[in-house]
């Protein structure tokens, strides 16, 4: 929005609803990360050495050739390393200081919410900057770029894998419980930059609406959520979220 431009009345109304809320639930998807320059790693963006993401991000691929999978993740980490939180990420971190409860659920694995200052975001699909030991199960942060291949656990020496939910793997039950609980008990919900087609995240907007929440979608692209929500703001997260932070 140009400097000096009037904030739309609808934005002010939503900001007031957020200010008056007791439990705010937020879901973010690839759209908010794209504003920071994070590639999707799906489709054309996922092609690497003639492999696609769907071929490499699987437990079978890792079991067959862990070196190849780690080389791909090291490439991905290198692309993301210089990406910084954008005004949308920063606004959500600030918003959490203005309301009694803000539960932030993200489908993104880039860790940008945490870098922006959000505390304890629920990362449904894991975090590319975390590793998990295939022997002892220890999860730890590791931001080395490049990462030594093959990386080993400091505790037991076991092979480390990316702490990512791969194709064919189930989401962690505790993560699912936190995600669904956040939207079931919210009085207002923000659905930001997500396609609305990847389950189970795609069901959260409808869950919140059925539970009586006021549901806001923020996405410049049309999604299936538009039939479910109370209002859609057809703009980028970084353009609108700073104006929704309560004063």
Residues noted as catalytic: 125
Nearest-angstrom CA–CA distance, 91 and 89: 6
In this structure, are residues 193 and 32 in contact, taking their beta carbons and an 8 Å threshold?
Answer: yes
d(CA 209, CA 71): 42
Q: Are the beta carbons of 89 and 113 closer than 8 angstroms?
A: yes
SS3 content of the chain, % helix, strand, coil (to 5): 40, 20, 45
Query: Residue 232, SS3?
Result: strand
Residue 204, token pair as written in the block: 């959260």
List 48's β-bridge partners, or say none: 51
- Give me the residue label for tokens 């997500």: 194
Measured distance between the N- and C-terminal CA atoms of the chain, rounded to whole angstroms: 19
């Amino acid at each position: 929005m140009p400097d000096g431009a009037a904030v739309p009345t609808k934005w002010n109304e939503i900001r007031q609803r957020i200010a008056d809320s007791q439990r705010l639930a937020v879901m973010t998807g690839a759209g908010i990360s794209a504003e920071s320059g994070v590639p999707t790693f799906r489709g054309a963006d996922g092609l690497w050495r003639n492999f696609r993401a769907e071929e490499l991000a699987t437990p079978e691929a890792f079991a067959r050739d862990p070196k190849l999978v780690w080389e791909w993740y090291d490439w991905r980490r290198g692309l993301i390393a210089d990406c910084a939180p954008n005004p949308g990420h920063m606004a959500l971190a600030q918003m959490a200081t203005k309301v009694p409860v803000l539960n932030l659920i993200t489908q993104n694995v880039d860790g940008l919410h945490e870098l922006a200052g959000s505390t304890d975001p629920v990362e449904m699909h894991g975090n590319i900057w975390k590793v998990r030991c295939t022997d002892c199960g220890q999860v730890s942060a590791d931001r080395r770029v490049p990462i030594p291949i093959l990386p080993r656990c400091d505790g037991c020496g076991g092979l480390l894998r990316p702490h990512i939910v791969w194709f064919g793997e189930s989401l962690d039950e505790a993560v699912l419980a936190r995600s669904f609980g956040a939207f079931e008990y919210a009085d207002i919900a923000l659905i930001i930059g997500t396609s609305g087609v990847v389950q189970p995240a795609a069901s959260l907007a409808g869950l919140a609406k059925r539970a009586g929440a006021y549901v806001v979608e923020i996405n410049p692209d049309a999604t299936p959520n538009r039939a479910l929500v109370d209002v859609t703001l057809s703009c980028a997260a970084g353009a609108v979220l700073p104006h929704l932070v309560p004063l």
